[in-house]
Structures are given as structure tokens and as C-alpha cells.
Amino acid sequence: MSRLLRSIVILVAVLLSHNANAAEVNVYAAASLTDVMKEIAANYEKESTDKIVFNFGASSLLARQIIERAPADIFFSADEAKMDDLQKAGMIASETRRDLLSNSLVIVVPNDSQLTITSPDELLTKVQRIAIANPRAVPAGIYTKQYLSGLGLWDKLESKMVPTENVRAALAAVESGNVDAGFVYKTDANISKKVKIAFSVPVEKGPKIRYPIAIVKETKNKGAAEDFLRYLESAKARTVFERYGFIVKF
Amino acid sequence: MKLEIRELSLRLEQFTLELDVDLQNARTGIFGPSGSGKTSLLETIAGLRKPETARIRLDNCLFEDTEQAYSLPVRLRRIGYVPQDDSLFPHLSVRRNLLYGTNGKSKHDTFSFDHVIGFLKIGSLLARDVRSLSRGENQRIVIARALLSAPRLLLLDEPLTALDASLKETILQQLRSLHHEFGIPMLYVTHDPVEANDICEEILILESGRLLSRGNPRELLG
Amino acid sequence: MSLTQAEWQIIGFTLAACALSTLVILPFGLAVAWPLARYRWPGKLLVETLVTLPLVLPPVATGLLLLKFFSRRGLLGQFLHKQLGIDVVFTWRAVVVAAAVMSFPLLVRSVRVGFQSVNQRFEHIARTLGAGDARVFFTVTLPLASRGIVAGVVLAFARAVGEFGATIVVAGNIPGKTTTLSLEIFETVQLGHDASAYRLLIVSVIIAFGAVWLSEALMKKSAL
């Protein structure tokens, strides 16, 4: 009887201590990172006792949530502007900020579309509706607007634009066939089986896309967050990022 | 006129109304205590109630034959109905109410408007609001409205309740001479023996849905 | 407080789209409320449930159903796109559709009460005076049910103006094309443009307040 009791006490102690060490790292990441980050986190959790919990969305929406004190530990944004906003508001630990990734823009069309686009100005005549992430706030949309404005095409194409909540929603709109084409990241096009790339914006001609990452100042899991951040810069993570089509900066 | 009400069976709350009669007088009364089925009988003749079984014929027009699953629609029966409760359309003017049954009918299919108005002495009420009418005025207009639709038969359900004696007498007089003036027979429901005596040539006495007796009102009611 | 031109356009568009959606659902609302008010028939409970559904389903869920149905590959959308060259999703038509579907249950409820409040004695009398079903309905039933019907129309309109969840899914938030009052409030809040958000909020409150007030006043009279 006392041996049974002792075993139970040891078991409970082990379980409790296991839970005491395991932390939950809340990562608020741009929508375009959804698939790649889930895979990387799954790998990470095999090696670590920590758990990674994600909140994916438009970087603009996430930044606003963090400003409203949402419990994020890490912010992984799709553009520098949103990270700058948080930095100005004193919400991030600046010393932990770094540019991790880059990406490129593509024009996608539904799989069954006959459309061919050899240059962006063909959009003026060949399509009726173009999905893009909301150019007023979401990085993917802002990059697109930047790019098209640079070519002098934005004003003429604006009436064709169907703005969406985030870049994945733009992708979904193209997948559903309710729009003729859409601007998304190359990495988004890669994971979708229902769209094909009609035009790739050459990286040199395209907007400077930067994915900065940083630890949120008010994090309660600083150690765990730092561990994960380090992992994201490791070779293992790099392989996965590149497989998805991201351009790794470090 | 000849109104055949054969093998009528109508299930009501407390009892079943059963009747098998031929009516031939110009002014027939249906007499009985309240709840004896008088109103239901009128409604059935008008087509507003469906009996379990019946064969109802007015002159040579078949109204109802349950055996052949035949029922003439209400609007084709050309029956004037003066119910017990207020029935003037509250959303229409007095004039519109009166003319409702003349819609689309040609001039000689109906009685002259002025004739009916004059007969029932309601000329002064034409401009009045329906809601402002007294019961007596109300009833006269309802009767006029029914008349104006040129019915083959007039059904009146206790039309004089809640009226004072002198008004009752006035309207009774008008009703008495209605057949003479317009040639329309009537079925007159009442529980007042004075009215029955005054107006009806023949009465049917109903109780709990059954015909108790039938005959001259003076003899039956004394 | 004065509104910008863009804000006026949004308000104008919202009012126009909602007026259209209310107009469109009116005959259907009457047609559905009538048998619900007057008759008992097999399947009545099913119809009642279906009609009430948009009232209790999460609006985005309803929006999703509409999206699937009207998309270019959807059941009806396919026909419209291929045969008539008409697109619904991401256009003003989707705004009208979303508003119509979401406000329909409220219309039916009010109209049903309106019909139920009509004393059938008047319909009977009208028949004895020679009126056929159609004439009875239009000259007696409808006028007597009018308070309930108008209340239903007003309520449906207000609901349409306040519609958001289904609209954003099936129409999107396209400036100048599908942006409604609710969508714009959402956007301005997202972007932190609080002043604009508050202006539009006040407009929304005025519209909603006026509509509900009017609807309640009419229903009270009807109950008398």
C-alpha cells in the first residue's frame, strides 16, 4: 500500500514538474506564414518541451491587437511598417528585432483559367476583377500598390480591385473563381493547388518585402520565446522556409 | 323561393346540428335560445361553414352536395348576410362599404343605389365615419350593403339586438316590406318572440341543433 | 459634425441597397406569411424553422452559404455568370442579397402577426358580397393587416442597414462598390480613424432608432 502511494506521489511530481517547465509561446504571425510556421513549430515541439500557439492574420490586425495588450510573445510581421509602429509604441524588445525573411509577389489565376499575363499592364485589358489584400492596411496589399504605382498602373487598375482581409483571403478569392486574378506572395501560390502563377514579379523590380520578427516586451515567457527565435534562425528552420519559397535573409 | 336543406349534419361544440327541411316562404324565422345552432345554420347556408353532410339547394341552384363532394364557392351563392356582430369594413367609408357588393356588376343587375338608400333612410349617413355610427345606423347600413349586392336570399342573424324599442319598430317595418319592395326572401334568426311574430310567416324552432317544431309563429309562440 | 463626401456616398449606397432589398423581399414575405398565419399544413414547422434560420445562424455562416450558392461556380451563380454574364459575389448585388436574406425573417414575423390580427369575419362578409380570393386579399385583408406589414417593412429595412457578417463574406468591402455603413465603421475602427467611426456610428444609431421607434408605434396601434 505504501509502495503504491509512493509511486503515485512520484508520478504526480513528475507530471507537475513537467508542466511547470513546459511553456506556451504565443506567436502572432502574418497570414502568409501560416503553413510554413506550422510545420516549423511541429518540428520544434519534437525537440522542446515548449508548445507554440499561433495567431495568424493580417499583420495590421495583429499589430493592433498587440497594442491593445493581446498576450503575444513574438510578433512576426510581413512588413517593417507594422513592426515600426510597435517599436514606436514601445511594445517590442528592440534588441531582439531582426529581419528574418523576404518574399516575392506573383499574380495568380484560377487553375482552370486560360488567362496568360506576360506583363502587369495586360491586367488593364484582360481581367475584370483582381483580388488583393486590403491595400490600406495589409502588407501584401501595400506592397502590391507600391509595385503597381511604381509602374504607373495603380490608378487605372484601382476600380478592378477587390480588397480582402488578408493575403490568404485574396488567395481564396482566386481559388473560388469569383475573381479573375489576384496578387499574393509566391509562397502562398506554392501551397495552393487551386491556383497557378500567371506572372512572377522579378525580385529586383518588385517592392522590398521584409519580414521582421521581434519579441514582445511584456512577454511572460521570455526564455521560451528566445529559444524559439533562435530555432527560427537555425539551419533546420532555414531549410523549411526555403522549401516553401521564402527568401531567407540571415 | 324554395330553399331545400336536406340531410344537414354539422358537428358543433356541444351537439350536432341536424336538419332536413324545405322552406318556401318569403319570410322564414329561425327561432331558439342562444347556442341552439341558429348562427351555424346561417353560416352553412352562406357557405362559410362546411357541414359533414348536406344537400342544399336554392331554387334551381345547387349550393352544397357532400355526397358528390360539390360546394359552390361563397362568392357565387349571391346570399346577403347580416351577421350579429359589427361587420362594416372599418377601413372603408360608408359609401365604399355600401358599394362593395356592386363591384363590376352592371346597373340592372343591382338595385338602384338611391332606391335602397331611400328605403332604409340612410342618406344622411353617407359621409359619416364608420366608427362613429350608432348600432342602429350600423345595422341599417349593413342591410343596405347586402341589398345592394342584389342577393337571391337575405340571411339576418338577430339584427335588432341592442336596439331600443322605437328603433326596432322602425327597422322591423322596413324589413317587413323588404320583400314587397325588392322581391328578396329572407331567413330571420331571433330569440325574441315579438320580432318573430311581427316579421315571419313561418318559423322553425330549434333547440340543441334539432328542429323542435315548425309552423305559424302566432300559434307556436302565442 | 459634418460628413465627408465619401461618407455620404456610403450612406446613400447603404440606404439605396437596403430599400431595394426590402422591396424585393416584400412580395415573398407576404406570400410566406399568409399560409403561416392562416393555415395548418404538413411541413409547416419546417418552413417556419427555415425562415427563422437567418435570424439565429451566425451571420457569417449565412454569408458562407450565400457565397457557395452565388459564386461563379455555385449552383445559381454559375447560371447567372455563364448565361447572363451577371456576377453577384463582390458586387452591389451581393449586398442586396445579403441584406434581403438577413432581414427576411423579421419581415415575415411582423406580417404574420398583421395577418393574424385581421378578423376573418370581414373576409367572410366580403365573400358573401361576391368578392373572389384575390379581391378579398387585396381589398380587405391587406388593408386591415397594413399596420403589421408596414412595421415589418420598417424593421426589415433597419435590419438590412445594420447587416455586416453576411455582407462582408459575400460582397467583400470594396470601396465605392460594396462598402456599406457597417462595413465602413468596421474598417475605420480597424485603421484607427476614430473620428470617422464615431460620425458613422451616430448615423447608424439615428437610422436604427427611428426605424425601431416607428415599428413599435405601429405595432402598438395594431394591437388595439
Tens digit of pLDDT for each residue in C40-85? 999 999 999 999 999 999 999 999 999 999 999 899 999 999 999 8
Instruction: Report pLDDT digits (tens) over A179-233.
Output: 999 999 999 999 999 999 999 999 888 888 999 999 999 999 999 999 999 999 9
pLDDT computed for residue A20 by the predictor: 55
Q: Specify the amino acid at residue C30.
A: L
C73: which DSSP letter? T
Do residue A178 and residue C173 have CB atoms under 8 angstroms apart?
Answer: no
pTM of the model: 0.79
CA-wise closest residue to B189 among B29, B23, B22: B29
pLDDT computed for residue A18 by the predictor: 53
Distance CA B198, CA A129 (A): 86
* Residue A105 binned pLDDT confidence (cut-offs 50, 70, 90): very high
In this complex, the residue of B81, B89, B103 whose CB is nearest that of residue C140 is B89
What is the mean pLDDT, run by run of 10 residues, along chain B of 222 residues?
92 91 92 86 94 93 93 93 91 92 71 87 89 90 93 92 85 86 91 88 90 87 70
Distance CA A59, CA C194 (A): 20
Distance CA A183, CA A205 (A): 15
pLDDT computed for residue A250 by the predictor: 54
pLDDT computed for residue B193 by the predictor: 87
Mean pLDDT of A128-140: 93
Do residue C172 and residue A129 have CB atoms under 8 angstroms apart?
Answer: no
Cβ contact C14:C161 at 8 Å: yes
- Smallest CA–CA separation between B101 and chain C, in Å? 4
Neighbours of B101 (CB within 10 A): 23
Interface ipTM: 0.90
Q: Which residues of C touch A64 (CB under 8 A)?
A: 190, 192
Do residue A137 and residue C191 have CB atoms under 8 angstroms apart?
Answer: yes
Do residue C90 and residue A176 have CB atoms under 8 angstroms apart?
Answer: no
In this complex, the residue of A60, A64, A163 whose CB is nearest that of residue C173 is A163
Transcribe B132-189 into DSSP letters: G--HHHHHHHHHHHHHHT--SEEEEESTTTT--HHHHHHHHHHHHTHHHHH---EEEE
- Smallest CA–CA separation between A98 and chain C, in Å? 25
Distance CA C141, CA A198 (A): 61
Mean pLDDT of A133-141: 93
pLDDT at A103 over 80: yes
- Smallest CA–CA separation between C218 and chain B, in Å? 16
- Number of helices (H), then strands (E), in chain B: 9, 11
* Residue A15 binned pLDDT confidence (cut-offs 50, 70, 90): low
Do residue A177 and residue C192 have CB atoms under 8 angstroms apart?
Answer: no
For C98, what's the count of Cα atoms within 13 Å in the CB-facing half-sphere? 37
pLDDT computed for residue C224 by the predictor: 42
pLDDT at A155 over 90: yes
Q: Which residues of C touch A159 (CB under 8 A)?
A: 176
In this complex, the residue of C121, C126, C132 whose CB is nearest that of residue B100 is C126
In this complex, the residue of C72, C175, C187 whose CB is nearest that of residue A178 is C72
Chains B and A touch (3+ CB pairs under 8 A): no
CA-wise closest residue to C124 among B74, B51, B27, B106: B74
Do residue A64 and residue C72 have CB atoms under 8 angstroms apart?
Answer: no
Distance CA A107, CA A153 (A): 14
Question: What residues have CB less than 8 Å from A119, skipping those under 6 apart?
Answer: A199
Tell me which chain A residue has its CA closest to the CA of residue C74. A176
Do residue C130 and residue B48 have CB atoms under 8 angstroms apart?
Answer: no
A175, three cell numbers: 481559388
Q: Which residues of A touch C89 (CB under 8 A)?
A: 176, 178
Q: Which of C68, C72, C167, C188 should we substitute to test contact with A (largest number of A Cβ atoms within 10 Å)?
A: C72
CA-wise closest residue to B96 among B137, B148, B46, B139: B148
Q: Which of C120, C123, C128 should we substitute to test contact with B (largest number of B Cβ atoms within 10 Å)?
A: C128
Q: Which residues of C touch B78 (CB under 8 A)?
A: 130
pLDDT computed for residue B109 by the predictor: 63
pLDDT at A241 over 90: yes
- Smallest CA–CA separation between B99 and chain C, in Å? 10
- SS3 labels along A172-185: HHHHHCCCCEEEEE
The list of chain C residues with pLDDT below 70 reads 1, 221-224
Transcribe B43-87 into DSSP letters: HHHHTSS--SEEEEEETTEEEEEGGGTEE--HHHH-EEEE-SS--
Tally A–C CB contacts below 8 A: 37
In this complex, the residue of C129, C143, C144 whose CB is nearest that of residue B101 is C129
C21, three cell numbers: 432589398
Q: Does B81 touch chain C (CB under 8 A)?
A: yes
Q: Which residues of A touch C176 (CB under 8 A)?
A: 159
pLDDT computed for residue A17 by the predictor: 57
Do residue B74 and residue C144 have CB atoms under 8 angstroms apart?
Answer: no
